[in-house]
Amino acid sequence: MRLERSFYFFMLLFSLVCLYPVSHAEQANEESSSLETVAAESITVKHERMLDGVIEAVKRATLTAQTSGRVIEINYDVDDYVKKGEVLLRFRDKEQKARYDGALANAVQAESEYARTKDLHKKNLISKSAMDKAEANLIATRAARDQAMENLEHTRVRAPYSGIVVQRHIEVGETAVIGRKLFTGLSLEQLRATVNVPEDMINSIRKNKQARIVVERAGGLSVEAKSLTISPYADPASHTFVVRVNLPEDDYQVYPGMFAKVGFVLGEEQQLVVPKSAVVYRSEVRAVYVLDENDKFQFRHVRVGKPLDSGQVSILAGLTKGEKVAVNPLQAVIKLKEQQGGE
């Protein structure tokens, strides 16, 4: 019995010793064969040039007094957000209200007289000229009423659009005359980037009319321009053209005064590209693992261009079209060490 147990133990140990090298070798071969490579390819991409710009509001206005009066209430101050139609401030309106009440009473009386005159004219009891006079009086009193209503409404200064108050030019208790500045505000609903473009680019920009805005402080946000407004003339001192790049209406978490990069499309060009994952970043070094004609990997320095939305990156130097690179650099390192160990 003891002899039989020893025999089985010996056979089990022998199986483990014999099978381990085989399994290990198969695993190594499997990892080696699963190492993915991809050939560097040349694709057509947009030729883009980046310039510095500044975000600004499309809508910016300074509200002025449309009537004379003393300010009795201010509802908003600098940096406050205001919705369209909300009352920013109120003037003392006693005089304007009295004029409106008088004009309203005159209009009501004129309407009554016109109705009575019209009825008498149908019965041929008054002349046509009396009828015309009553109609003219009705029109005049209604116009006076509407004017008085507008003057009364001017005592309440309302926001012309939703936005931010950037300046307040008057205090409670001050008396304003017609035309005096009251508030300056801007809208966050419509924004644009203003860029000074050198003259060597302007013809290409006019032809393509394509651009995108990149705001690094907003997490590298990239937004395609809605439209471009290009100045028809250059500044005589700087010889640059002002180009306004309009953003689509949305909340991009960008605000007037922020710096932005604007990429203008100047045409198309051929670029050599590889997957972003294939590039190794070591301090200032950029490199890829290239598979040579002997199926061995080489660590090669490259000069990298801009990343693309497709998940690829352009290679400016150090690689040629058709050369194969490792998609996973970590696996390539392991393979390279195995090659060096075998040598």
Residue with tokens 């395609």: 224
Residue with tokens 């309009």: 246
pTM here is: 0.57
In a 3-state reduction of DSSP, which class is residue 173?
coil
The CATH architecture of the domain made up of 93-154 is Orthogonal Bundle (1.10)
pLDDT at position 21: 41
> Side chain identity at 179, as an amino acid letter?
G
Cβ distance 57 to 187 under 8 Å?
A: yes
- The total of other beta-carbon atoms located within 10 Å of residue 34's CB is 9
More confident residue, 237 or 254: 237
In a 3-state reduction of DSSP, which class is residue 101?
helix
In a 3-state reduction of DSSP, which class is residue 72?
strand
What does the alpha-carbon distance between residue 284 and residue 174 come to, in Å, rounded to a whole number? 63
pLDDT at position 8: 43
95-130 confidence digits (pLDDT tens) = 889 999 999 999 999 999 989 988 888 888 888 888
Residue 255 pLDDT more than 90?
no
Mean pLDDT of 8-15: 41
Across the chain, mean pLDDT equals 83
pLDDT band at 90 (very low <50, low <70, confident <90, very high): very high
Cβ distance 278 to 262 under 8 Å?
A: no
pLDDT at position 131: 87
What does the alpha-carbon distance between residue 60 and residue 184 come to, in Å, rounded to a whole number? 7
What does the alpha-carbon distance between residue 73 and residue 293 come to, in Å, rounded to a whole number? 83
Mean pLDDT of 277-306: 83
Cβ distance 194 to 219 under 8 Å?
A: no
What is 49-56+191-266's CATH number, 3.90.400.10, 2.40.30.170, 3.40.50.10380, 2.60.120.40?
A: 2.40.30.170
pLDDT at position 147: 92
pLDDT band at 76 (very low <50, low <70, confident <90, very high): very high
Cβ distance 211 to 222 under 8 Å?
A: no
What does the alpha-carbon distance between residue 92 and residue 101 come to, in Å, rounded to a whole number? 16
pLDDT at position 219: 66
Give the H/E segment covering residue 20: helix 2-33
Mean pLDDT of 79-95: 92
Q: List Cα–Cα distances, 330 to 36, 185, 224, 235, 336, in angstroms.
A: 11, 55, 36, 54, 10
Mean pLDDT of 227-237: 92
pLDDT > 70: what percent of the chain?
87
The dihedral through the CA atoms of 130, 134, 135, 136 has a sign that is positive
More confident residue, 272 or 19: 272
pLDDT band at 341 (very low <50, low <70, confident <90, very high): low
* Structure tokens given for 293: 């004609």
The residues facing 324 across adjacent strands are 39, 291
* Structure tokens given for 268: 């198309």
Report the top-level CATH class of 59-92+156-189: mainly beta
Domain ranges of the chain: 49-56+191-266, 59-92+156-189, 93-154
pLDDT at position 34: 57
pLDDT at position 28: 40
What does the alpha-carbon distance between residue 328 and residue 307 come to, in Å, rounded to a whole number? 17
Mean pLDDT of 225-249: 92
More confident residue, 33 or 69: 69
Mean pLDDT of 5-26: 40
In a 3-state reduction of DSSP, which class is residue 28?
helix
Mean pLDDT of 131-136: 89
Instruction: State how beta strands 227-230 and 156-158 pair.
Output: unpaired
Residue 35 pLDDT more than 90?
no
Cα diameter, the chain: 145
Q: List Cα–Cα distances, 310 to 227, 289, 335, in angstroms.
A: 24, 21, 28
Cβ distance 263 to 49 under 8 Å?
A: yes
Residue 326 pLDDT more than 50?
yes
pLDDT at position 264: 93
Mean pLDDT of 287-300: 82
User: Any idea of the CA torsion for 127, 130, 131, 137, to the nearest 10 degrees?
Assistant: 180
